Amino acid sequence: MDFFFISFLKHLCALSYLKINNNQFVMILIKKNNMNNIIVTLRHSTTIIDAVYTLLITSSNDITQHVITLTTDVSLNSDRYNQYDMADPTDIDLRVGDYDYFIFESDPITGFNQATDNIIEGGKLRVRDESIVEQVAFDGVNQIISFN
């Protein structure tokens, strides 16, 4: 499928995506109080030998930022995809809600610099709490959501 058709579909789904350096932007789901598998595709966009990857998470509601260095790639085929395991709240502690994320590649010697490092992937990140039961009802016109 060409880029315009994919963009059209994304807008139909009411998702806002960005496109930087011709990289696709995807969604990551984090479940509270769980071990989460973060699966991304970094190797094909990397331009630095032995790059260090930094995950920058920005809240959609305010300007809060979280910076996490992605350390151990546990994927079985790192040429195809990269997998990082993160425990909430041990490795990452975010409130329930929506975030934007960007993954930067950094030189291992100079370290992370948000102003100069390349963004190699980014998108939306959603944090959900599976212990909260969501009940959805309709009054004929409006959707009513209540939490237990």
pTM score, whole prediction: 0.71
Structure confidence by residue, pLDDT tens digits, 61-104 = 778 899 999 989 999 998 899 999 998 888 888 888 899 999 99
User: Which pLDDT band, with edges at 50, 70 and 90, does 131 fall under?
Assistant: confident
Task: Report pLDDT for 139.
Answer: 63
Task: Report pLDDT for 123.
Answer: 92
Instruction: In whole angstroms, give the CA distance from residue 87 to residue 32.
Output: 8
User: Which pLDDT band, with edges at 50, 70 and 90, does 145 fall under?
Assistant: low
Q: Reduce the secondary structure of the chain to three states and give it as a string.
A: CCHHHHHHHHHHCCCCCCCECCECEEEEEEECCCEEEEEECCHHHCCCCCCEEEEEEEECCCCCEEEEEECCCCCCCCCCCEEEEEECCCCCCCCCEEEEEEEEEECCCCCCCCCCCEEEEEEEEEEECCCCCEEEEECCCCEEEEEC
CATH architecture of the domain with residue range 17-147: Sandwich (2.60)
Percent with pLDDT over 90 in the chain: 46
Q: Is the pLDDT of residue 22 over 50?
A: no
